[in-house]
Protein backbone atom coordinates (compact mmCIF):
# COMPACT_ATOMS: atom_id res chain seq x y z
CA UNK A 1 0.00 0.00 0.00
CA UNK A 2 1.39 3.39 -0.97
CA UNK A 3 1.38 6.16 1.64
CA UNK A 4 0.26 9.04 -0.59
CA UNK A 5 1.02 11.58 2.16
CA UNK A 6 4.69 11.23 1.11
CA UNK A 7 3.88 12.65 -2.33
CA UNK A 8 6.06 15.57 -3.40
CA UNK A 9 5.07 18.26 -5.87
CA UNK A 10 7.38 20.09 -8.23
CA UNK A 11 6.56 23.39 -9.90
CA UNK A 12 8.32 24.24 -13.13
CA UNK A 13 7.77 27.25 -15.33
CA UNK A 14 8.65 27.89 -18.93
CA UNK A 15 8.18 30.62 -21.45
CA UNK A 16 4.62 31.22 -22.62
CA UNK A 17 4.39 31.63 -26.39
CA UNK A 18 0.85 33.01 -26.35
CA UNK A 19 1.09 36.77 -26.87
CA UNK A 20 0.58 38.94 -23.81
CA UNK A 21 -1.42 41.45 -25.81
CA UNK A 22 -5.07 40.48 -25.89
CA UNK A 23 -4.58 37.52 -23.57
CA UNK A 24 -3.38 38.83 -20.22
CA UNK A 25 -6.39 40.91 -19.25
CA UNK A 26 -9.99 41.30 -20.38
CA UNK A 27 -11.48 43.71 -17.87
CA UNK A 28 -13.53 45.60 -20.43
CA UNK A 29 -11.47 48.73 -19.73
CA UNK A 30 -9.06 49.03 -22.65
CA UNK A 31 -6.71 51.50 -20.96
CA UNK A 32 -6.43 49.31 -17.86
CA UNK A 33 -5.87 46.19 -19.96
CA UNK A 34 -3.09 47.88 -21.94
CA UNK A 35 -1.44 49.10 -18.71
CA UNK A 36 -1.47 45.55 -17.30
CA UNK A 37 -0.02 44.19 -20.53
CA UNK A 38 2.69 46.87 -20.52
CA UNK A 39 3.63 45.98 -16.93
CA UNK A 40 3.91 42.29 -17.86
CA UNK A 41 6.04 43.09 -20.90
CA UNK A 42 8.33 45.28 -18.79
CA UNK A 43 8.84 42.43 -16.33
CA UNK A 44 9.60 40.06 -19.21
CA UNK A 45 12.19 42.53 -20.51
CA UNK A 46 13.81 42.20 -17.09
CA UNK A 47 13.90 38.38 -17.47
CA UNK A 48 11.13 37.86 -14.89
CA UNK A 49 9.64 34.64 -16.25
CA UNK A 50 6.83 34.62 -13.68
CA UNK A 51 5.43 37.68 -15.46
CA UNK A 52 4.05 35.52 -18.30
CA UNK A 53 4.62 31.79 -18.25
CA UNK A 54 3.30 28.26 -18.41
CA UNK A 55 3.28 26.50 -15.04
CA UNK A 56 3.56 22.73 -14.65
CA UNK A 57 2.87 20.86 -11.42
CA UNK A 58 4.17 17.29 -11.24
CA UNK A 59 3.61 14.71 -8.50
CA UNK A 60 6.28 12.19 -7.46
CA UNK A 61 6.64 9.66 -4.69
CA UNK A 62 9.87 8.40 -3.11
CA UNK A 63 8.73 4.77 -3.39
CA UNK A 64 8.04 4.98 -7.13
CA UNK A 65 10.54 4.91 -10.01
CA UNK A 66 8.47 7.35 -12.10
CA UNK A 67 6.53 10.60 -11.80
CA UNK A 68 2.97 11.30 -12.80
CA UNK A 69 2.14 13.35 -15.86
CA UNK A 70 2.45 17.04 -15.15
CA UNK A 71 -0.55 19.36 -15.12
CA UNK A 72 -0.03 22.50 -17.20
CA UNK A 73 -1.60 25.94 -16.87
CA UNK A 74 -0.75 28.54 -19.49
CA UNK A 75 -1.03 32.32 -19.75
CA UNK A 76 -0.01 32.80 -16.12
CA UNK A 77 1.17 36.03 -14.56
CA UNK A 78 2.27 35.90 -10.93
CA UNK A 79 4.65 37.85 -8.74
CA UNK A 80 6.62 34.68 -7.93
CA UNK A 81 6.21 31.04 -6.94
CA UNK A 82 4.74 31.92 -3.55
CA UNK A 83 2.14 34.12 -5.22
CA UNK A 84 1.21 31.21 -7.50
CA UNK A 85 0.95 28.82 -4.54
CA UNK A 86 -1.34 31.24 -2.72
CA UNK A 87 -3.86 31.15 -5.55
CA UNK A 88 -6.50 28.48 -5.99
CA UNK A 89 -4.99 26.91 -9.10
CA UNK A 90 -2.07 25.34 -7.24
CA UNK A 91 -4.20 23.14 -4.98
CA UNK A 92 -6.34 22.06 -7.94
CA UNK A 93 -3.23 21.25 -9.99
CA UNK A 94 -1.71 19.27 -7.11
CA UNK A 95 -4.88 17.19 -6.83
CA UNK A 96 -4.89 16.51 -10.57
CA UNK A 97 -1.16 15.69 -10.59
CA UNK A 98 -1.72 13.19 -7.76
CA UNK A 99 -4.59 11.62 -9.70
CA UNK A 100 -2.27 11.32 -12.72
CA UNK A 101 0.38 9.58 -10.61
CA UNK A 102 -2.17 7.23 -9.06
CA UNK A 103 -3.54 6.38 -12.51
CA UNK A 104 -0.03 5.60 -13.75
CA UNK A 105 0.49 3.25 -10.78
CA UNK A 106 -2.82 1.55 -11.56
CA UNK A 107 -1.82 1.10 -15.21
CA UNK A 108 1.54 -0.43 -14.22
CA UNK A 109 -0.11 -2.79 -11.73
CA UNK A 110 -2.79 -3.78 -14.26
CA UNK A 111 -0.12 -4.50 -16.89
CA UNK A 112 1.84 -6.63 -14.42
CA UNK A 113 -1.12 -8.83 -13.55
Contacts of 100 (CB under 8 A, 6+ apart): 59, 68, 69, 70, 71
The structural domain count of the chain equals 1
**Taking 90 as the threshold, does the pLDDT of residue 113 lie above it?**
no
pTM over 0.85: yes
Q: 4-27, pLDDT tens digit by residue? A: 999 999 999 999 999 999 999 999
Contact at 8 Å (CB) between 100 and 59? yes
**With pLDDT > 70 as the criterion, what percentage of the chain qualifies?**
100
Sequence-ordered strand ranges (E) for the chain: 8-15, 53-60, 71-76
Average the pLDDT over 72-78 and give the result. Answer: 97
Half-sphere exposure of 108 (CA within 13 A, CB side): 11
In which domain, by residue range, is 20 found? Answer: 4-112
Whether the Cβ atoms of residue 57 and residue 14 lie closer than 8 Å to each other? no
Q: What is the mean pLDDT of residues 66-79?
A: 96
Looking at residue 14, its pLDDT comes to 98
Amino acid sequence: MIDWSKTKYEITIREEHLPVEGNAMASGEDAYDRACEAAILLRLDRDDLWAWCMVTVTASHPDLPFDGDGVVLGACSYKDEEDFKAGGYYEDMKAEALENLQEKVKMVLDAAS
